[in-house]
Chain A
């Protein structure tokens, strides 16, 4: 975390323990991402990275520490502040098959944040236009809006999920293992899409992944989590070339490589 760079979304001294659990799944974690910057959260299963993503999304409150958005801590009661937060911080989930309601058309799914968060598009027609433009920006045809998720492949569903996340024009996109469930040939397409969109919209990107190559492709900064703690963080290239921590080194070495 660079000292004087502006910070958009941050976790400060955050710990989290599930109710009735014996140990913290996250301990004293400090990470931050600035406007237009990108942060990768890497680690293996059980490292706590998905939990951290959920805390950054305000889905749970940390058991210690706080989540700061634009310098102010997230607070439960204030509905207006909550809506403003949700407009600014959006997410894409890992499983493209369960992140879209199978009983809703694609268009309605993408428009849901527009309706719930009070978008400028008031009429149904205005929303339809916006949905069409969002679909276009993720490389899907406008007529996809009238179809159901089951008509689409995993990669296409992730594109739809990305379109939905972009609907309220957020400042931060938190992507939790966005390509892990996808075929190899599709992964690189979605990675490229995320990179283009982040650049075009000045989005801050927080990417959670167990796959270091995806993080290396998309994130300027990286935080390595192990057993709920951040064992190393810094510029991605620097950390990968010269890891200071033993665990980070093992993680990098373990990646199966093409000859």
Chain B
């Protein structure tokens, strides 16, 4: 695959998603270069998930996309079958909000992970097994042998999401889309997952698109943010700027609401800010063991 050094990984221009009745997303532009960390913020009905699905070429049947959606040089709107499959996995992968429904409940974790590893890294047999365990360790899952043998309902929510990340990373994609990855998780687990995403993406030189309704979550892991409402882009810019000087009234309202709720919490203590992400390991319970 001949890569043009200047070409963006994801190029979305004038994206429009329609069903039989109305536009669900209109006039959305987004550009993701290698190494970018972009956030999409919106409430329910904003069209942020539909935008992600359009990029992946996975819009459910009655919905149709138009405009430009080019990922890794391939037009995802017109790509049929094989062409789309080649892009998904090697160029772009995704993790979703609820791993209970986005992972296979019948296969063990190890088998689910082995499949993309075998496909993208061409390994088999003992090497494959070793790679599976290594990839579970990479997402900081303690006791990878046990996890590899388990089914997804036998491990905790946070562990499931780590498995989903491991599967996504196994394909060695150039950009990862994370759609509300921590929304369904407990808050003590959220921090660990966000740190993992942050580190994994940086270490591999990947780009990240993080979608969430939570401003604090997005501002922690991304540099640039797109605010969506009712299917439209409302504002775009650097995270800091959006939070301190939002240009659009809707954005201002979102920021104000988030700050108003946070106002009652104690201010972040100096000691915490100094603690590095690497210190927080997977799902540590009060006794140091895993929590179910």
Q: Which residues of A contact B (CB under 8 A)?
A: 44-46, 154, 183-185, 187-188, 191, 210-214, 216-217, 226, 240-241, 246-247, 250-259
Contact = CB atoms under 8 A, between A and B. Distances in A.
A185 B260 CA distance: 10
Contacts of B260: 188
B264 A213 contact: yes
Nearest to A213: B261
Contact of A216 (B190, B213, B264): B264
A44 B262 contact: no
B258 A184 contact: yes
Contacts of A251: 187-188
Q: Which DSSP category, helix, strand, loop or mixed, fits chain B's interface? A: helix
- Residue with the highest number of chain B CB atoms closer than 10 Å, among A214, A226, A255: A255
B286 interface: yes
Given A191-B261, A240-B266, A252-B266, 16 more contacts: A44-B187, A45-B157, A184-B215, A185-B257, A212-B265, A217-B264, A240-B265, A250-B188, A250-B286, A254-B191, A256-B187, A256-B216, A256-B217, A258-B262, A259-B220, A259-B239
Given A183-B44, A187-B257, A240-B266, A254 B190 contact: yes
A104 B260 CA distance: 35
Interface string B151-195: 000000100000000000000000000000000001110110010
Nearest to A243: B266
Interface residues of B, number: 36
A185 B43 contact: yes
B268 interface: yes
B199 to A, nearest CB: 16
Contacts of A256: 187, 190-191, 194, 214, 216-217, 220
A213 B44 contact: no
Nearest to B157: A45
Interface of B: 43-44, 157, 186-188, 190-191, 194, 213-217, 219-220, 239-240, 243, 253-255, 257-266, 268, 272, 286, 292
A183 B213 contact: yes
Contacts of B263: 217
Given A44-B186, A185-B43, A226-B286, A257 B262 contact: yes
Contacts of A188: 257, 260-261
B261 A241 contact: no
B13 to A, nearest CB: 28
Given A44-B186, A258-B219, A259-B219, A184 B265 contact: no
Given A184-B214, A185-B43, A210 B187 contact: yes
A185 B286 contact: no
A259 B190 contact: no
Contacts of A216: 264-265
